[in-house]
């Protein structure tokens, strides 16, 4: 027994150094290997955990801004915007384009200042290719009747990709607030989405000054000027105007279709009139003039307040009385538009001052029937201009009645007004500048 115990334990009792040498692998080597294995595993886990985050951060880092960015239509605003980025072509501002100072230009688009603060990140943007979309033949739009000149915006005509466009350019002297209003209005127009009877917003340049909005150009421009050119026989001119009652029904139906679309989008226009309709070469009518709609969308306040005196003769009685407006208020203004069309641009209620209009309507009076107006068209005008908003037809009913009237309307007799246009008389009868007329009592 003593020999076996000595063979199993070669060290004498009390020899510590001997015991350490005998049990070195069990006491030191194995724990050390286990510790090294744990540390290596921990290091591998840390590398797998943090390295992908660094790669992802590098992949999503912001890229340098492109020279210019086109504005996309609402159907491509969200998830499709990034997937189609490489396929879309952009637009660039022409070199040396300077806004014309103190020049009165036609207000094809009304820019109204708003209390919004949009950022460039809110504007859909894509890549740019100058060689495919540079502007050509940039010229200022010719002078025409302007309701309220905008001192911060200049309008130009140009060619882009073999297409006529209108450039709405923010002057380089604009401050940061005016730039925010400009971009906010562009974002609002893009949010309305495409419609065949709304002018196409083709793009916006926001990456470099001057800020610029690009809209399709319609050959005859605003309907009011077109109607004035139709007042006399212009068959020998560049753009003959042969407007018949049938074409009035057709064009009015197009405007009503755009108005119905806006109402389905929860948007009240608030500025329906001949000045806010654009006319194409084929007499296609497109509704424009969204300044009041943008104001109503972005500013809190009384929606029935008439801020511009020159708009009073186009507004419904509830708006004149500073009560809340509704979509039926647009229907009233649409009736005034029909009156403008059939009279080739006469102002409504020409015998009244704008300040007398509400009291005149309260007595049950309405628009007088023009000499060239048929029974069916005048009936439609009167139904739109009912005192009670509940009695006015909805836009869907308007479209149905306009389509029926188009089928039976006269397409042979061309409307003419022999008297030449007197612009001073028009301004007086339409109520422009009346806010500055003070009577001595």
Closest CA to 156 of 217, 198, 111: 217
Same topology between domain 68-217 and domain 219-441: no
CATH of the structural domain 68-217, one choice from 3.40.30.10, 3.30.200.20, 3.40.50.170, 3.30.43.10? 3.30.200.20
Tens of pLDDT along 6-30? Answer: 445 567 776 767 766 776 666 677 7
Mean pLDDT of 248-254: 97
Tens of pLDDT along 370-397? Answer: 988 999 999 999 999 999 999 999 999 9
Mean pLDDT of 424-435: 82
Per domain, the residue ranges of the chain are 68-217, 219-441
What is the rounded distance in angstroms from the CA atom of residue 348 to the CA atom of residue 356?
13
Tens of pLDDT along 340-367? Answer: 999 999 999 999 999 999 999 999 999 9
What is the rounded distance in angstroms from the CA atom of residue 274 to the CA atom of residue 348?
11
What is the rounded distance in angstroms from the CA atom of residue 203 to the CA atom of residue 162?
15
Residues in Cβ contact with 347 at an 8 Å cutoff, skipping those fewer than 6 apart: 313, 340, 426, 429, 430, 431
- pLDDT band with cut points at 50, 70 and 90 for residue 275: very high
Rg (C-alpha) for the chain, rounded Å, is 36
pLDDT value at position 286? 97
Question: Which class would CATH give 219-441?
Answer: mainly alpha
Mean pLDDT of 258-284: 94
pLDDT > 80? residue 84: no
End-to-end CA distance of the chain: 140
pLDDT > 80? residue 338: yes
SS3 306: coil
Cis peptide, bond prior to residue 210, ω within 30 of zero: yes
Question: 222: part of which helix (H) or strand (E)?
Answer: strand 221-222
Q: What percent of the chain has pLDDT over 70?
A: 67
Buried b (16+ CB within 10 A) or exposed e, 9-31: eeeeeeeeeebeeeeeeeeeeee
Tens of pLDDT along 207-239? Answer: 777 888 899 999 898 999 999 988 876 544 545
Mean pLDDT of 398-425: 91
Higher pLDDT among residues 357 and 34, named by residue = 357
pLDDT value at position 144? 60
Residues in Cβ contact with 420 at an 8 Å cutoff, skipping those fewer than 6 apart: 231, 232
pLDDT > 60? residue 39: yes
β-bridge partners, 158: 165
Tens of pLDDT along 161-173? Answer: 778 888 888 988 8
Tens of pLDDT along 144-165? Answer: 654 455 678 888 888 887 788 8
pLDDT > 80? residue 61: no
- When mean pLDDT is compared across 40-49, 68-77, 427-436, the lowest value belongs to 68-77
- pLDDT band with cut points at 50, 70 and 90 for residue 92: very low
Give the C-alpha distances (Å, rounded to integers) separating 420 from 234, 347, 386: 12, 14, 32
Closest CA to 366 of 383, 353, 354: 383
Mean pLDDT of 320-325: 91
Higher pLDDT among residues 12 and 192, named by residue = 192
Tens of pLDDT along 282-317? Answer: 999 999 999 889 988 887 554 445 556 668 999 999
Instruction: Write a three-state SS string for 308-354.
Output: CHHHHHHCCHHHHCCCCCCHHHHHHHHHHHHHHHHCCCCCCCCCCCH
Closest CA to 397 of 379, 412, 411: 379
- When mean pLDDT is compared across 56-65, 162-171, 247-256, 264-273, the lowest value belongs to 56-65
Tens of pLDDT along 109-142? Answer: 333 333 333 333 334 433 332 333 466 677 676 6
Q: What is the DSSP annotation of 21-44?
A: HHTHIIIIIHHHHHHHHHHHHHHH
Give the C-alpha distances (Å, rounded to integers) separating 41 from 28, 115, 404: 20, 58, 82
What is the rounded distance in angstroms from the CA atom of residue 205 to the CA atom of residue 170?
10
pLDDT value at position 251? 97
pLDDT value at position 375? 94
pLDDT value at position 63? 43
pLDDT value at position 83? 38
């Amino acid at each position: 027994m003593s020999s076996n115990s000595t063979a199993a334990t070669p060290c004498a009792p009390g020899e510590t150094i001997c015991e350490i040498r005998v049990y070195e692998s069990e006491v030191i080597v194995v724990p050390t290997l286990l510790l090294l294995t744990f540390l290596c595993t921990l290091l591998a886990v840390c590398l797998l955990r943090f390295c992908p985050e660094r790669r992802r951060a590098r992949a999503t880092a912001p890229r340098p801004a492109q020279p210019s960015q086109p504005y996309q239509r609402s159907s491509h605003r969200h998830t499709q915007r990034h997937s189609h980025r490489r396929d879309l072509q952009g637009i660039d501002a022409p070199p040396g384009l300077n806004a014309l100072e103190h020049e009165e230009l036609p207000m094809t688009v009304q820019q109204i200042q708003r209390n919004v603060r949009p950022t460039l990140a809110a504007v859909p943007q894509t890549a740019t290719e100058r060689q495919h979309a540079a502007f050509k033949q940039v010229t200022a739009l010719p002078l025409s009747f302007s309701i309220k000149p905008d001192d911060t915006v200049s309008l130009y005509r140009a060619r882009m990709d073999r297409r006529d466009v209108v450039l709405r350019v923010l002057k380089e002297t604009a401050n940061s607030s005016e730039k925010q209003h400009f971009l906010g209005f562009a974002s609002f127009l893009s949010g309305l989405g495409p419609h065949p009877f709304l002018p196409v917003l083709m793009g916006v340049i926001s990456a470099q000054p001057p800020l610029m909005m690009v809209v399709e150009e319609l050959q005859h421009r605003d309907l009011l000027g077109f109607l004035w050119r139709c007042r006399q026989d212009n068959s020998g001119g560049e753009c003959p105007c042969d407007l018949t009652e049938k074409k009035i029904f057709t064009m009015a139906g197009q405007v009503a279709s755009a108005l119905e679309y806006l109402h389905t989008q929860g948007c009240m226009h608030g500025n329906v009139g001949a000045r806010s309709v654009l006319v194409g070469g084929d007499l296609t009518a497109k509704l424009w003039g969204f300044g009041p709609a943008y104001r109503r969308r972005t500013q809190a306040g009384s929606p029935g307040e008439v801020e511009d005196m020159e708009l009073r003769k186009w507004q419904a009685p509830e708006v004149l009385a500073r009560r809340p407006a509704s979509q039926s208020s647009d229907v009233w203004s649409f009736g005034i538009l029909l009156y403008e069309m059939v009279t080739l641009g006469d102002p409504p209620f020409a015998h009244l001052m704008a300040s007398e209009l509400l009291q005149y309507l309260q007595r049950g009076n309405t628009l007088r029937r023009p000499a060239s107006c048929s029974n069916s068209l005048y009936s439609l005008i009167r139904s739109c201009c009912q005192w009670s908003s509940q009695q006015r037809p909805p836009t869907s009913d308007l479209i149905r009645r306009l389509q029926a009237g188009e089928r039976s309307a006269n397409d042979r007799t061309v409307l003419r007004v022999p008297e030449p246009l007197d612009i001073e008389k028009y301004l007086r009868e339409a109520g422009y500048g009346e806010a500055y007329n003070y009577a001595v009592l």
